[in-house]
Amino acid sequence: MLLSGSRRLSDLAFLVVAGLERHVGRQHLERPAADVQMLVDGDLSLLARLMGTGQPGLRWRCWQNRHCLVVPRNWSRLPGFRDAVLDCPLPVALRASGGSAVTHGPHILNISLCWLAMAADGVGIQQGYARLTGPILATLADMGVAADLSRVAGAHCDGHCNLVHDGRKLAGTAGLIRPAGGMRGLLLHASLTLASLDGDLDIIMGFERRMGRVADYRPDAHVSLSAALRGDTLSALPAPAERRDRADRGTARHG
């Protein structure tokens, strides 16, 4: 791992967010809070606020959580869920979108997009994924990390819109659509792995197996951003305070 410690992870998260700003406009990085569910629910709150305006538009959210396990909300109605939660060494939070179990934590950067569109425009989940992943892929490219979208055999929470570097999963995505009269609200989110954390995959597999699911995931099917970056790229970064000052004075803003 090229990065170690919370300070270095925080610096890398800020670097990604600052890079993303060049493509989507000014962003604020939300830091971990005491209530893991509150931060997960922040996506739905943002979507509700956007839908409440009744005006088509986009809202981005960049955030991190405390170390926890996050699973689809509909799992809470399945047999074995209560016992799986009791056996899990991490707090368990529920999300509205689908997929399977993932971990959050300071080593993960979550990037969410809420999009309110006219229903007549026919915007669907695939267009939503494209709108979410395009700026992230561009940001990674700016950092010298080539990535594309595909499935990865042996990866946890695998999907066709994984962000993939060198054949390994760098970030997963999930989403949902909520109709509202003549409008359609989309929520898309990506979880970008800044650094691998030993034990995460075992916790995911243990929880899913406790739920009666087949969970045989391979560590080598995953990669972190810190592993994808070159050491000289990281050492050349300006100090965090200097980067923040630059961002305040010169961040390009786009709609």
Domains of the chain with bracketed CATH: 5-248 (3.30.930.10)
pTM: 0.88
> Rounded to whole angstroms, what are the CA distances from 226 to 22, 87, 112, 213, 236?
21, 31, 21, 31, 14
Residue 242 CB contacts under 8 Å (≥ 6 apart), including other chains: none
How many Å apart are CA 17 and CA 21, to the nearest integer? Answer: 6
pLDDT of residue 245: 45
Residue type, 223: V
For residue 88, indicate whether it is catalytic.
Answer: no
Please give the chain's pLDDT, 255 residues, in tens.
Answer: 344 467 788 999 999 999 999 999 999 999 888 799 999 999 999 999 999 999 999 999 999 999 999 999 999 999 999 999 999 999 999 999 999 999 999 999 999 999 999 999 999 999 999 999 999 999 999 999 999 999 999 999 999 999 999 999 999 999 999 998 899 999 999 999 999 999 999 999 999 999 999 999 999 999 999 999 964 333 333 443 444 443 343 333 332
- CA neighbor of 9 nearest in space, from 91, 101, 109: 109
Interhelix angle 5-24/240-250, nearest 10 degrees = 10
What 44-51 contacts at long range (C-beta under 8 Å, 24+ apart), as own/partner pairs, is 44/96, 44/187, 46/112, 46/114, 47/114, 47/178, 47/185, 47/187, 50/114, 50/116, 50/185, 51/116, 51/178, 51/180, 51/183, 51/185
The residue annotated as part of the active site, out of 62, 88, 114, 157, is 157
